[in-house]
């Protein structure tokens, strides 16, 4: 389906980057391997015969220009995105190609919307931040659940993860985000981001079967609080995380993900339960699958495919739900994500 088009994967040797490289190859694209660590890049290139490897660093614009030369698009998988997003977006704008990233960092995604919206729109190009499990999937689900509603009172996104073995990149990104907000936590209420010093609540959430009632950390805020309000009139957006997964993430010695199948996926399973409410009405969307890191690859690659084939609704900086037909996008990933809409 990619018709041999080349797509740069910046951070190709990282955990998610490797999934993205394989997904691109499976869909007929030709990945160009790029990243800041030349040694890791050489090792990856040796295992991927026929693929071009182009080292680049975010403090060397010329190296990024060489990495993106002749490519149809770029997918940025290299965190922390507080450091990498802006330089790679700048390079994509210079090259005149679409940019997609898998950033889960709330502040980095805010920066992308704030600093590049006007320039990307003026250039007629596309910049899609958070096109991954956190930020992208939740936004698509909320948008799909909304259906013909133009606004809602509140949106709730509950993440039911069986476990969470974080990558080194996830841990680093979390540290950077906490530093940027001085250790405070962030929520989206009253139509804006609010920063708090208190502890988040622990609540009960009734997931669809077979998960059922689970304890969750309320206000466990993820990138959805940036992507959803960027295009939907919903003044209250709240995300939740199963207690077990939150404890895994908080424990310093929780190991990194371990592959259990031929695709390199871990045994982790997920169920994302989305509820939107308007007046006395409620609509719901549910998605389930395996491995939050692995599923970010088809999300990002499907986004590139749709951009390059003209299946978009706008230009500039846009979240997944704003730029794509949300139900159609989700159904296109039926091999990786099971979807149920209740309207």
Asked if the model's pLDDT at residue 3 lies above 90, the reply is no
3-state secondary structure 295-313: HHHHHHHHHHHHHHCCCCC
- pLDDT category at 1 given cuts 50, 70, 90 is low
Mean pLDDT of 101-111: 97
Average pLDDT value for residue range 103-130? 97
342 pLDDT band, cuts 50/70/90, is: confident
Residue 188 has pLDDT above 80, yes or no: yes
- What pTM was estimated for this model as a whole? 0.97
- Which alpha helices (H) appear in the chain, and where do they start and end? 15-26, 38-47, 61-68, 81-95, 106-123, 138-146, 168-180, 224-227, 243-250, 292-308, 320-323, 326-332
Q: What is the mean pLDDT of residues 12-31?
A: 98
The whole-number average pLDDT for the span 19-37 is 98
Determine the pLDDT at residue 205.
98
Mean pLDDT of 3-14: 95
Residues 144-171 as b or e (16 or more Cβ within 10 Å = b):
bbbeeeeebeebbbbbbbbbbbbeebbe
Query: Does pLDDT of 173 surpass 80?
Result: yes
Query: Distance between CA 176 and CA 170 in Å, rounded?
Result: 10
Could you give the CA distance from residue 116 to residue 12 in angstroms, rounded to a whole number?
Answer: 24
| pLDDT at 127 > cutoff 90 | yes
Residue 167: predicted pLDDT: 97
Q: Reduced to 3 states, what is the DSSP secondary structure of residue 53?
A: strand
Identify the bridge partners of residue 32 per DSSP, sorted by sequence position. Answer: 8
Stretch 61-67: mean pLDDT, rounded?
Answer: 98
**Sequence ranges of the domains in the chain:** 6-132+296-327, 133-292+338-342
3-state DSSP helix/strand/coil % of the chain, to nearest 5: 40, 25, 35
Q: For the domain bounded by 6-132+296-327, which CATH number is listed?
A: 3.40.50.720
Decide if 6-132+296-327 and 133-292+338-342 have a common fold. Answer: no
Domain 133-292+338-342 fold is: Dihydrodipicolinate Reductase; domain 2 (3.30.360)
> pLDDT tens digit string along 272-307?
999 999 999 999 999 999 999 999 999 999 999 999
Residue 343 has pLDDT above 80, yes or no: no
Tokens for 271, please give them.
């169920």
| DSSP assignment letter at 292 | H
Of all residues in the chain, what percent carry a pLDDT higher than 90? 98
Q: pLDDT for 222-250, tens place per residue?
A: 999 999 999 999 999 999 999 999 999 99
């Amino acid at each position: 389906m990619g018709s041999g088009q080349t797509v740069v994967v910046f951070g190709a040797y990282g955990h998610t980057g490797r999934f993205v490289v394989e997904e691109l190859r499976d869909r007929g694209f030709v990945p160009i391997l790029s990243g800041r660590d030349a040694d890791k890049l050489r090792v990856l290139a040796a295992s991927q015969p026929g693929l071009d490897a182009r080292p680049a660093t975010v403090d060397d614009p010329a190296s990024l220009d060489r990495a993106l030369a002749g490519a149809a698009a770029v997918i940025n998988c290299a965190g922390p995105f507080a450091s990498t997003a802006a330089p790679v977006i700048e390079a994509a704008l210079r090259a005149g190609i679409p940019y997609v990233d898998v950033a889960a960092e709330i502040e980095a995604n805010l920066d992308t919307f704030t600093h590049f919206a006007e320039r990307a729109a003026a250039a007629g190009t596309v910049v899609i931040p958070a096109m991954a499990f956190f930020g992208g999937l939740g936004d698509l689900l909320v948008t799909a659940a909304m259906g013909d509603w133009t606004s809602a009172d509140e949106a709730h996104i509950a993440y039911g993860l069986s476990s969470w073995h974080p990558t080194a990149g996830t841990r680093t990104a979390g540290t950077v985000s906490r530093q940027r907000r001085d250790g405070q936590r962030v929520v989206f209420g009253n139509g804006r981001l609010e920063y708090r010093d208190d502890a988040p609540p622990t609540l009960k959430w009734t997931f669809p079967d077979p998960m059922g009632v689970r304890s969750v950390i309320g206000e466990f805020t993820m990138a959805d609080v940036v992507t959803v309000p960027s295009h939907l009139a919903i003044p209250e957006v709240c995300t939740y995380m199963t207690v077990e997964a939150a404890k895994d993430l908080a424990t310093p010695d929780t190991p990194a993900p371990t592959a259990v199948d031929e695709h390199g996926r871990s045994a982790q399973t997920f169920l994302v339960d989305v509820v939107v409410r308007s007046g006395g009405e409620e609509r719901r969307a549910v998605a389930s699958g395996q491995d939050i890191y692995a599923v970010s690859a088809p999300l990002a690659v499907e986004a590139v495919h749709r951009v390059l084939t003209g299946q978009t609704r706008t230009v500039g900086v846009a979240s997944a739900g704003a730029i794509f037909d949300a139900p159609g996008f989700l159904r296109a990933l039926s091999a990786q994500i099971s979807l149920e809409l209740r309207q």
